[in-house]
Each structure stands twice: as C-alpha cells, then as structure tokens.
Chain A
Amino acid sequence: MNRRMATRAVSIGGLVILWFVVTHYKLVNPLFLPPPREVWEGAVDLIQAGELREHIAASLWRMFMGFVVGSFTGVVIGILMGQFRFFHAAVGPLVEIIRPIPGLAWIPVALIWFGIEDASKVFIISMGVFLAVVTNTFVGVRSLDPVLVRAARSLGANRRDVFFRVVLPGTLPHIFTGFRLGVQVSFALLVAAELVGSTSGLGFLIQDARNYFRGDLVILGMAVIGALGFSITRLVEIAERWFLRWHSTSREGAFY
C-alpha cells in the first residue's frame, strides 16, 4: 500500500516537475502552457474570490442530479426489461435506437428544450448514465441463475421476496458496472455541455478563460476536473467494494 502510494506521488510529482522545467526554460510559448506558479496564483485568486468553489459546486450538482435521474431510471427500466418479456419487446427497440446517438449530439436539442441553465446539463448527463446503467442492469437480471429463484421459492419466498431478496442483490454487480461507466460518461458530457452553453461550471470556466487568453485558468479548470473525476471514481469503487464484498471477483464485464 505504502509503496503504491509512493509510486503515485512520484509519478504525479514527476509530471509537475517536467511542467516546471519545460516552462522555466521557455521550451514552449508561455501563452500555450503557463508555468505552474501562474496557475497556482490564478487558483488562489479564484479561490479567494469564491469563484472556483461556485464553479465546482455548479458542476457537481449537475452531475449528481444527472447521475441520480439517469441511474434510477436505468435500474428501474433495466429490471422491468429483464423481468417482463412484453416490456422488453416494447421498450428494448427504443433503447437500441437511442443508444447509437452520441451523448454529445443531445447537446443542441437539450439547449433548445431546457435552455442554458442546469436542466439541460442534467438531461444530457442522465441520458448518458441511463444508457450505461439500463443495459448492464438488463444483462444482470437476465444472467441471474434461475436456480436461485427456485431455491428462494422453496424456502417460502413469494414474488415480492424473490424480487427484493434475490433479483435485486443478484443484479447488483452488473448495476455497479453500469454506475462506474456512468460516472465516466457523465464527466465527459458535463464538461462538453458546459463548454457549449453555460454561464457557470468548470466547462464554462475553461471556455471563459480561453476567450480572455487566460491559459493559467484553462489549465486550472482541467486539473480540477481531473482531480474530481479521480476522487469520484475512487468513491464509487469504494462503495462497490463494500456492497459487493460477497463477490469473489467483484468485477463484471461491462456492456455498453
């Protein structure tokens, strides 16, 4: 563990040092890549003005909402599709038609429908998360060993018990696979949507800084996105490990 931490510190530290050397000796135009010190000062300014916190809060809120909406509908529809043939026949094709449309292609229509406030971003993110979660949930329900349902029934379980005590926990590994994919997708979609049409958020910060040739803030915005993405992915993994502590491999193949 300590050794791994040390390796990580060295690799991240190495990148910063490389950055420092490259900019210190003017190996690249500072307009393209500002030195670490400038980015640091830009960060301090933004933090003191309270702006960075606002941008982060705006982005996280949208992501959170989009994730909740998308994963909830994804789990519900995925389970219904897995449990009822009729529902699968009716809804399956719709999902398959929506799937090949890239999340980014939803941005214009989302801006028309929901404007440039939070709703459009939440819509786009939930769309991406939904697609990741619905498929994995469906596959999870379908790949559940039917012998477990028989076992539960012979132990006195009714339909409701079977659903909550067998189908749901049995599908959880696949649902988590969907969640993990959903987090990745939602970051990409969030930033893209904020770059195109927004008045706040980390994507907007980058776009706005670019317009004013503030390379330091562009880099800062990117670094913050990277750090947030890293942390949230870790959190999901920790949650997964706890919820799936019974799972020998703890990782299912992803379907997307």
Chain B
Amino acid sequence: MTVNLQVSRVSKEFVDRRAKSTVRALDEINLEVQKGEVICILGPSGCGKSTLLNIIAGFLPPSGGEVRVDGRPVIEPGPDRGFVFQEFALFPWRTVLENIEFGPVLKGMEKTDRHTHARELIQRIHLTGFEDKYPFELSGGMKQRVGIARALANDPEVLLMDEPFGALDAQTRRVMQEELLKLLGETQKTVLFVTHAIDEAIVLADRVLIMTARPGQVKSLLGVDLPRPRERTSPEFNELYRTMDDLIRVEVEKASEVQDSDSAVPGEGA
C-alpha cells in the first residue's frame, strides 16, 4: 500500500479582526491515508473538520504544517483533488453534461472523448436522459450525483467530500451512500468524507477520524472492520456506533462550553 495523502502537523488560526484576537481552529493534525482508502471525519460542529478539508483542497492556506498528495505539497486548488460540496455548487448555467465536462474542457480534452467520458459517468450515476437538463430542473439527490460525477470526471487522486449528503432527506441519503460505495468500488479512489452522522461514517469508512472540540485535534482514529455491505442493525455496527457516540459526546459538551465564551470560527461551515 502506498501513502496517497499525507497531512503533517497542520494547524490553522483565524484572525478575528473585531475582537483583535486569533482563534485556533486546528492544532497539529497528522494523518496518512493509503491509496483507495475511505476516511470519514467526525467531530462536533465548529471543530474544524471542514477547515481541514478546505486546507487539503488548497482553498485555505494552513497556518502551519503541510499537506502532500502523492508526495507533492499542496499550495493551491487543483484537479488532483476533486471536491464535492454540501451545497452541490453546480454551475447553474451549465447542463448536467456541461457541468461534468467542466474539468475535461479545462484540460483540453477532445470533444468526442469528453462526451464519451461524461456520458459514461452519467450512466453510472443513473442520470441517462438528463444530460441536457439544467441544475434547477434536478432534485437534490440528482444534483449531488452530478456533483460527484463532475469531481470524478477529472480522475482525481483524492476525493474530498464536505458533508455531501447533509442537505438531502434521510431516504435519499441512504440511496446516495449505497451508490457512492458502488462508485468507489469501481474507481478505487482515496476519499476524505466529512460528516456529522455517525451511522454514515460507519457505513462508508475504512477508518473514522474523530476530532476534538476546537482547537481541532485528532482524538482517535478507528478502523471499521465490518464486512460490506454493512448492516445498520447488526450488533457490531451498534457497538461501534456507541463507542463513537461516547467519544464525540464528550467533545460536543466541551464545544458548547467553548461556544459560550467566544464567537464562531470564520470559514467554518455549520
């Protein structure tokens, strides 16, 4: 196994101009992810899990430490790290096909290759027939399928997913989790998946990273050694659920104490 993504001693501080103080969002995060591994990141809100993902994506510079993808340091966003957003972030003026083709167009891929590639992805996300629809004509689940396909169209080394199913209803979430697993099984992508749903983390992850309350540190890194497909009602599933829930609960309580004493961190999603 080769290390695909390496996060070394990454810290992040935000300057609060009004209060003339700095808020430490992340504190010396270390993480090594193997190729093809799925890591889910859990933690209380405001713990910096989205900030960490944004730093890996290159959207935010770390205050200290560095991120390497395949040995190359991250300095800015790039097509080697596909990003899937909670709010989908599809380009509303582009059709399904055009959204998925965005990356390949920038790469200068030939039109016919591009089309074949995109149509294949559309078929895999079950949106055949919707190629020429605009985002406003799609449901939430459909939009996020396009979001995932758009990220995969670049064939990235790493897929960064920031609470991608957070805006979907419970049923759609389940379906999307299953489809994502199927897609990942086919593509063998390395995935970092931020969520606050423990069951989602257990269903998807090879390992689950639990973060502390702010400043976010690695609290524990738990392997999920359950056979796939994972059964939510199995005793092993529930035991793992309880373990994680206990770990997180402590942090949530800490976080609510912290929140009373200072303001929210800028750049941190809800």
Contacts of B150 in A (CB 8 A): 151, 155
Closest to B76 in A: A153
* Interface membership of A53, Cβ < 8 A: no
CB distance from A173 to the nearest CB of B (A): 9
* Cα–Cα distance between A33 and B15 once the two chains are bound (Å): 72
CB distance from B7 to the nearest CB of A (A): 17
Residue count of chain A within 8 Å CB distance of chain B = 21
Contacts of B48 in A (CB 8 A): none
CB distance from B85 to the nearest CB of A (A): 6
Q: Tell me which residues from 127 to 156 in chain B have a Cβ below 8 Å from any Cβ of chain A.
A: 134-136, 150-151, 154
* Interface membership of B49, Cβ < 8 A: no
Q: Mark A140-159, 1 if CB is under 8 A from B, else 0.
A: 00000101101111111100
* Cα–Cα distance between A161 and B87 once the two chains are bound (Å): 22
Q: Tell me which residues from 98 to 142 in chain B have a Cβ below 8 Å from any Cβ of chain A.
A: 102-103, 106-107, 134-136
* Cα–Cα distance between A172 and B92 once the two chains are bound (Å): 12
**B91 engages A156 (CB within 8 Å):** no
CB distance from A146 to the nearest CB of B (A): 10
Q: Are A147 and B85 also in contact (CB < 8 A) when A245-B134, A246-B136 are?
A: yes
Q: Are A170 and B77 also in contact (CB < 8 A) when A147-B87, A155-B103 are?
A: no
CB distance from A246 to the nearest CB of B (A): 4
**B57 engages A169 (CB within 8 Å):** no
* Cα–Cα distance between A169 and B160 once the two chains are bound (Å): 26
Q: Tell me which residues from 220 to 256 in chain A have a Cβ below 8 Å from any Cβ of chain B.
A: 245-248
State which of B90, B103, B135 has its C-beta within 8 Å of the C-beta of A156. Answer: B103
* Interface membership of B166, Cβ < 8 A: no
* Cα–Cα distance between A172 and B91 once the two chains are bound (Å): 13
Closest to B98 in A: A246
* Interface membership of A166, Cβ < 8 A: yes
Contacts of A155 in B (CB 8 A): 79, 82, 102-103, 106, 150-151, 154
Contacts of A153 in B (CB 8 A): 58-59, 76-77
* Interface membership of B266, Cβ < 8 A: no
State which of A152, A157, A161, A246 has its C-beta within 8 Å of the C-beta of B93. Answer: A246
Q: Tell me which residues from 96 to 134 in chain A have a Cβ below 8 Å from any Cβ of chain B.
A: none
Q: Tell me which residues from 65 to 96 in chain A have a Cβ below 8 Å from any Cβ of chain B.
A: none
**A154 engages B77 (CB within 8 Å):** yes
Closest to A172 in B: B93
**A169 engages B79 (CB within 8 Å):** no
State which of B89, B106, B154 has its C-beta within 8 Å of the C-beta of A147. Answer: B89
Contacts of A246 in B (CB 8 A): 92-95, 134-136
* Cα–Cα distance between A209 and B103 once the two chains are bound (Å): 62
Q: Could you write out 23 A-B pairs with CB less than 8 Å apart?
A: A148-B89, A150-B59, A150-B85, A151-B83, A151-B89, A151-B90, A153-B58, A154-B59, A154-B77, A154-B79, A154-B82, A154-B151, A155-B82, A155-B102, A155-B106, A155-B151, A156-B106, A156-B154, A157-B106, A170-B93, A246-B93, A246-B135, A248-B136
Residues of chain A touching chain B, judged by Cβ–Cβ distance below 8 Å, are 145, 147-148, 150-157, 161, 165-166, 169-170, 172, 245-248
New contact pairs (9) apart from A153-B58, A170-B93, CB-CB < 8 Å: A150-B59, A152-B102, A154-B78, A154-B83, A155-B79, A156-B79, A246-B92, A246-B95, A247-B136
Top 3 nearest A-B pairs (CB, nearest first) are A156-B79, A248-B136, A153-B77
